[in-house]
């Protein structure tokens, strides 16, 4: 029964869990007020709300990067109010975050950056000659820019849904004519014809990534996931990258 509830919480949309967590935080403040235990001063209120919202988010199995957001959201609102921050500044911050993270609230995929050591390790997986590589969720083009320097014989494609990272990826790869950056959803585009698909996403979409790879990629091609495995699927190989964060690459050969 417990595992069933855990699975049910995990399946909820991240936006709904975020709203529910914040409501739990304010419900705790209301309850403390009803009990007559609410002291004077807004900082106790703000911190209690943040702590409760964070605990609720953890219980709802929200992604880890949501936790500091819940903890700091209400305290930052009070700080902004105390400092009389102009409303226009909040609008500008919101627009900037929206352009960078775009649909992260729905896909549960934050912005991760790949390094040169990782690109070098992935490049070594493919034989010499003309190859087709797709970066599913290209971000700001870190992987593609580094991979292009390793494999000048490769035709590279990156798909990114967030406008700001997409624009930066186009800028970073402009000197590599064999690299194409596409604005869109990588699930909505075909993966057929690629020799390797690289994904640095999050645990949430990995089952769907595997289903799409098996359905569309040719037998013998490679799916390489940075840091995140696929539940219930054993990788054909795990590569330990000698970088600062000890990156692990899960290599899956399409059957």
Tell which residue, 136, 133, 138, has the closest CA to residue 171: 138
Same domain, 65 and 157: no
CATH of the domain at 226: 3.40.50.150
Residues 225 and 128 in one domain: yes
Q: What is the distance between the alpha carbons of residues 86 and 32, in angstroms, rounded to a whole number?
A: 31
Going by C-alpha positions, the residue among 43, 52, 46 that lies closest to residue 20 is 52
| pLDDT value for 77 | 76
Tens of pLDDT along the chain (255 residues) come to: 444 444 455 555 666 778 888 889 889 888 887 777 766 667 778 888 888 989 988 888 876 767 888 888 888 777 776 667 676 655 666 555 554 554 554 555 555 778 899 999 999 998 888 899 999 988 889 999 999 998 888 999 999 888 888 888 999 898 888 999 999 889 999 999 999 999 998 888 899 999 999 999 999 999 999 989 999 999 999 999 988 888 999 999 999
Which helix or strand (DSSP H or E) is residue 53 part of?
helix 42-59
Is 93 among the domain residues? no
Lookup: tokens for 140: 């700001």
* Count of the separate structural domains present in the chain: 2
- 218: in domain: yes
The answer as to whether 145 is a domain residue is yes
How many other CB atoms are found less than 10 A from the CB of residue 85?
Answer: 14
Residue 102 falls inside a structural domain: no
Bridge-based pairing state of the strands 196-199 and 222-226: parallel
In a domain, 90, yes or no: no
Sheet containing 222-226, strands listed edge to edge, beginning at the edge strand earlier in sequence: 179-183, 154-160, 131-136, 196-199, 222-226, 248-253, 237-240
64 and 160 belong to one structural domain: no
Examine residue 96 and state whether it is found in any structural domain, yes or no: no
- Say yes or no: 124 and 248 in one domain: yes
The per-residue DSSP string of 154-200 comes to: EEEEEEE-SHHHHHHHHHHTTT-TTEEEEES-TTTS--TT-SEEEE-
Residue 95 domain-assigned (yes or no): no
Measured in whole angstroms, how far is the alpha carbon of residue 107 from the centre of its chain? Answer: 8
User: Sign of dihedral through CA atoms 150, 155, 159, 160?
Assistant: positive
Could you tell me the residue range of the domain that residue 191 belongs to? 116-253
Structural contact between residues 251 and 237, judged by C-beta atoms closer than 8 angstroms: yes
Boundary (domain end) residue, out of 85, 108, 125: 85
What was the pLDDT predicted at 243? Answer: 85
């Amino acid at each position: 029964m417990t595992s069933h509830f855990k699975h049910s919480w995990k399946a909820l949309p991240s936006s709904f869990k975020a709203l529910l967590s914040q409501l739990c935080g304010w419900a705790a403040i209301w309850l403390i007020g009803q009990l007559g235990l609410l002291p004077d001063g807004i900082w106790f209120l703000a911190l209690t709300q943040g702590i409760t919202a964070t605990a609720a988010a953890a219980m709802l199995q929200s992604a880890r990067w949501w936790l500091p957001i819940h903890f700091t959201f209400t305290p930052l609102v009070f700080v902004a109010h105390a400092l009389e921050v102009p409303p226009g500044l909040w609008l500008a911050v919101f627009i900037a975050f929206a352009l960078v993270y775009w649909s992260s609230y729905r896909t549960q995929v934050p912005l991760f950056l790949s390094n040169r050591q990782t690109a070098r390790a992935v490049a070594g997986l493919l034989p010499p000659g003309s190859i087709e590589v797709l970066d599913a969720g290209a971000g700001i083009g870190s992987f593609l820019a580094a991979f292009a320097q390793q494999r000048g014989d490769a035709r590279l494609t990156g798909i990114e849904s967030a406008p700001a990272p997409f624009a930066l990826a186009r800028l970073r790869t402009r000197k590599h004519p064999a690299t194409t950056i596409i604005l869109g959803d990588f699930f909505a585009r075909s993966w057929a014809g690629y020799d390797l698909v690289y994904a640095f996403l999050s645990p949430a979409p990995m089952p769907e990534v595997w289903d799409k790879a098996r359905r569309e990629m040719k037998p013998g091609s490679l799916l390489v996931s940075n840091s995140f495995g696929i539940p219930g699927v054993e990788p054909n190989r795990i590569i330990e990258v000698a970088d600062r964060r000890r990156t692990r690459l899960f290599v899956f050969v399409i059957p």
